[in-house]
Structure 1
């Protein structure tokens, strides 16, 4: 478990993530992280945009259902 300290950064409050955490998240300076609230009220920090994942799942469903139609249109 890593303990993170809140610090002032200009007029905002920020947190510095240890190198090990950045490595495990596979992110580096300039990348985006998403703070997602779980149904049980806890929070999760993730490099994956949950909205994009939902949209991609819907797109894959459409591609699967209309595969033949899209194949014909691509000709």
Structure 2
């Protein structure tokens, strides 16, 4: 898989990752990547899930299944 470095309007450069890569790594806008330089190139690693992201996911599940969770709580 290949990608290209793009020049942005502000003069900086950006590496755009293909959607397939983002989906495979479960990455979303705002997520952070760790860049590791090696003798063979670079490794991009997702930064471990933050507590806030985990809580957001939990809230989304609770909102989606609110009625079912209330029934279980009875």
Measured against the shorter chain, the TM-score band is 0.5 to 0.7
TM-score, scaled relative to structure 1 = 0.54
Which residues of structure 1 form unaligned runs of 5+? 50-75
Aligned pair count? 47
Cα deviation for residue 25 of structure 1 reads 1.4
Question: Post-superposition, which runs of at least 4 consecutive aligned residues in structure 1 deviate over 6 A?
Answer: none
Query: Superposed, which structure 2 residues align to 1:11-50 within 5 Å?
Result: 11-38=11-38, 40-48=39-47
CA RMSD of aligned residues (A): 1.6
Cα deviation for residue 41 of structure 1 reads 4.3
